[in-house]
Amino acid sequence: MNNKAYRLVSLRNSMKTKIRMGAVEIGGKKFVVMAGPCSLEDRQRTRAMARIVAGAGASVMRGGAFKPRTSPYSFQGLGVPGLKHLREAADDHGLKVVSELMDPRYVDDFLEYVDIIQVGARNMQNFDLLKELGQVRKPVLLKRGFGSTVEELLCAAEYIVSGGNKEVILCERGIKTFETGTRATLDISAVPVLKSKTHLPVIVDPSHAAGRRDIVPALAKAALAAGADGVLLEIHNDPGKALCDGEQALSPAQLKKLVKEMSVIAEVMGRSI
């Protein structure tokens, strides 16, 4: 496949897309930390998470209100009330918000409560959803499918940009391989490859790639070193009791330590957090 299939997102010159949301800029010199729980569980815990995220130095809070789960009996999220809790908690601490949209019927709710609309790995090639998001004027975080190539990710982004929405953030979150030591295999090489092919910002989700909290910090630092524009981290103030993916969630102390360590690496690279 050549870049004619994704000509709008293809890197044509030295100009890079920078996505600005108030004081937050993605794609510039600052390395952006996005953090929060996999699933929003209740209003009180969401507010506690926002304090933790802001206190660690992150600028964007993540949180799932609608959760795609393999089993229909697993916790599916709080829905629109969860988005309201997330917005309220983030606003109290000056944070931006990112959350996953699965159904076009909820686009209006996401436009009201969310700063960045996330498209999950399972929906990367949900072309009707991508076309719908091409019509909105709000940043979209597009995750790479766990069985998709870099070029397929770029073609998915093309659907959104060709609809008129130029604010797309690409996210590497690990792909399926024969390796069983991790939940997925983080394709760290995808970061410089994408940087050589597209002007869009690129971030990394080391939490879903690892599936285990002990190696998330190493993968996050590798993403920074590889040239990513940010990371998307899962945290929980009591990981053992998390309703979703607690085994890969960092504790508040681990998040704070990681951001401090990444700040040192960023400075060496001429960047900041």
* Helix/strand/coil (H/E/C) assignment for every residue in the chain: CCHHHHCCCECCCCCCCCEEECCEEECCCECEEEEECCECCCHHHHHHHHHHHHHHCCCEEECECCCCCCCCCCCCCCCHHHHHHHHHHHHHCCCEEEEECCCHHHHHHHHHHCCEEEECHHHCCCHHHHHHHHCCCCCEEEECCCCCCHHHHHHHHHHHHHCCCCCEEEEECCECCCCCCCCCECCCCHHHHHHHHECCCEEECHHHHHCCHHHHHHHHHHHHHHCCCEEEEEECCCHHHCCCCHHHCECHHHHHHHHHHHHHHHHHCCCEC
Where are the domains positioned within the chain? 34-268
Question: What is the pLDDT, as a whole number, of residue 15?
Answer: 85
Question: What is the pLDDT, as a whole number, of residue 13?
Answer: 63
* CATH top-level class of 34-268: alpha beta
Q: Mean pLDDT per 10-residue run, the chain (273 residues)?
A: 84 86 96 94 92 96 84 79 95 97 94 97 96 97 97 98 97 96 96 97 97 96 98 90 81 96 96 95
Question: What is the pLDDT, as a whole number, of residue 72?
Answer: 81
Question: What is the pLDDT, as a whole number, of residue 164?
Answer: 96
